[in-house]
Amino acid sequence: MDRIFTAISNRIASFAGQPGAFILAFLIVLIWGASGPIFHYSDTWQLVINTGTTIVTFLMVFLIQNSQNRDAAAMQAKLDELIRAVVEARGHFIGIEHKTDKEIQVIRTELEEECADEEEMARKPKSHTYLEQLIRRR
């Protein structure tokens, strides 16, 4: 089921992002608008476009969310691989996307403070900077 949904959503999302899809939607609205005098701008005539656009919007929300979730998960996997592959990187950052907002904010604050400390250390003589960074990380 997941593979079928992914394949269908990929195709629809790919089509919906093309200029042709915009032109098709624009033509539908243009034809609908031009048909107004024929149907005397009736309630039914208005209901047709309202219902159609509501259904399309409702379905597209799920397709867009699916696409964004998949893209975000792929990006996290790539970043995790980079963290894992870089020797100097700290592995405890892998998987932090599963933490709460408060936990992530604490991590961000600590990183910002650490960066400020490193900027201050960069102004010190170079011989001590590297050793101080190593000591601080351990």
Average pLDDT per block of 10 residues along the chain, 138 residues long: 86 90 96 96 96 95 89 93 89 88 91 80 61 64
Q: How far apart are CA 60 and CA 109, in angstroms?
A: 37
What is the pLDDT at residue 137? 65
What is the pLDDT at residue 138? 56
Q: How far apart are CA 118 and CA 62, in angstroms?
A: 44
Q: Residue 56 has which token pair?
A: 């399309």
Domain ranges in the chain are 2-91, 99-138
Q: How far apart are CA 53 and CA 13, in angstroms?
A: 17
CA 5, 11, 17: angle at the middle one, nearest 5?
Answer: 125
Number of residues that make up the chain:
138
pTM over 0.75: no
Q: How far apart are CA 106 and CA 100, in angstroms?
A: 10
Please say whether the beta carbons of 118 and 133 come within 8 A.
Answer: yes
